[in-house]
Amino acid sequence: MKLGMFMMPLHNPARSLTDVLAEDREAVILADGLGMTEAWCGEHISSTAEPIASCLMFFASVIAQTKNINFASGVLNLPQQHPSQVAAQVANFDHMSLGRYIMGIGPGGLVSDFELLGLRDEAQRREMMLEAIETIHKIWSGGPGYDIEAKHWPVKIKDGVFPHLGIGQICKPYQQPYPKVCVSIVSPHSSSATNAAERGWEMVSANFIQSRYIQSHWQAYLKGCENVQRRPDPGVWRIARSILVTDDPRRAEDYIADPEAGLSFYFKYFMDLYRSRGILKMLKPDLEVSDDDLTLDEVIRSMVTFGDAASVLDQLVALGELWGGFGTLLMVGHDWDDGPLWRRSMTLLAEDVMPKLNQHLDSWAAAE
């Protein structure tokens, strides 16, 4: 099993934007140094809590300071830009990174962005996402000059085409025919997972739902593979999880219990957001608990894998048995309100926990 990192990133908006962007960059550079295979980063326009407006711009700032890690957009919100802009920008980034790019895409996920851009209709956003990626792939397959019919964004360059000058041609990516496509899955039994499998895309199971829902993502993906008679490959499945590893388990316990710590802000953010959307059950460890009785402490303790290396290993082994085989564990990059704590956690996870976890997986495979 590979190890990577997934950052929304989510920060307390009271913190300095300069500081949190610097810390996010440092986290990606550290992940590369620890041998992590992927770094995922989201983007939103209208949020100071999720302040990165362009994940490609953010990742471009660390290409030269990293060697091997792959950069993954988590995700490009395709309804929010013209497909020709996305095609050109992704092609640039893919060349700048020499192919270290995974094209995570989605319909968008932030209510204020929807309102800002007049994209409140969920069905319309999903339709636009599918049209956009199809158009992008057609752009990369064609030119110079384009005549691509589409409902939302027809792409036409007919008159202004001068091939000998390079005019009328949108750049093609470094990876041929184009970077792999991946989607982020949240809802249980998601039809998006089925659609992804039908199209040969990969997927990430998000970390901001209870672990009991995660297996349903793979079941939905299997359905899509069956629909198109494609052999399912668990290696294309990534699962994100909030993980805190400390040398002393009491240190992890103290941080988890601190109502002012970054993890508390993170899960309070989702509790408030999910409550407003009527989907708080996705955070409940016990579905019998009423919305009013659900506590922040219960949510954190049920959704964060924490403790010393031995305890975290045991918890990850148990989760692996619950979920079944998958390809990459994505540790969530949280706010570095305590930088030394999180740097040490990343190091312990990569250097102590993961080798032992893979020994367990090897023994399971040998026993089958």
**Residue 362's pLDDT band (cuts 50, 70, 90):** confident
User: Could you read off the pLDDT of 43-99 as tens digits, one per residue?
Assistant: 999 999 999 999 999 999 999 999 999 999 999 999 999 999 999 999 999 999 999
For the cut 70, the answer to whether the pLDDT of residue 368 exceeds it is no
User: Could you read off the pLDDT of 133-152 as tens digits, one per residue?
Assistant: 999 999 999 999 999 999 99
Sign of CA dihedral 326, 240, 123, 125: negative
Q: 243 phi and psi, to 5 degrees?
A: -135, 130
Own/partner long-range contacts of 55-63 (Cβ < 8 Å, ≥24 apart): 56/89, 56/90, 56/93, 58/21, 58/24, 58/25, 59/28, 59/93, 59/97, 60/93, 60/96, 60/97, 61/25, 62/25, 62/28, 62/29, 63/96, 63/97, 63/100
Report percent pLDDT > 70 for the chain: 99
Mean pLDDT value of segment 5-17: 97
Dist. CA 307–CA 298, nearest whole Å? 16
Dist. CA 229–CA 256, nearest whole Å? 45
Q: What is the pLDDT of residue 201?
A: 98
Q: Mean pLDDT for the chain? A: 97
For the cut 90, the answer to whether the pLDDT of residue 182 exceeds it is yes
Dist. CA 214–CA 236, nearest whole Å? 15
**Residue 363's pLDDT band (cuts 50, 70, 90):** confident
Dist. CA 13–CA 19, nearest whole Å? 11
User: Could you read off the pLDDT of 280-328 as tens digits, one per residue?
Assistant: 999 999 999 999 999 999 999 999 999 999 999 999 999 999 999 999 9
Mean pLDDT value of segment 257-265: 97
Helix (H) or strand (E) holding 50: none
- Label residue 155 exposed, middle or buried (CB < 10 Å: 0-12, 13-18, 19+): buried
Domains of the chain: 2-74+180-245+307-367 (3.20.20.30)
For the cut 90, the answer to whether the pLDDT of residue 365 exceeds it is no
The DSSP result for 115-137, as a single string, is HHHT---HHHHHHHHHHHHHHHH
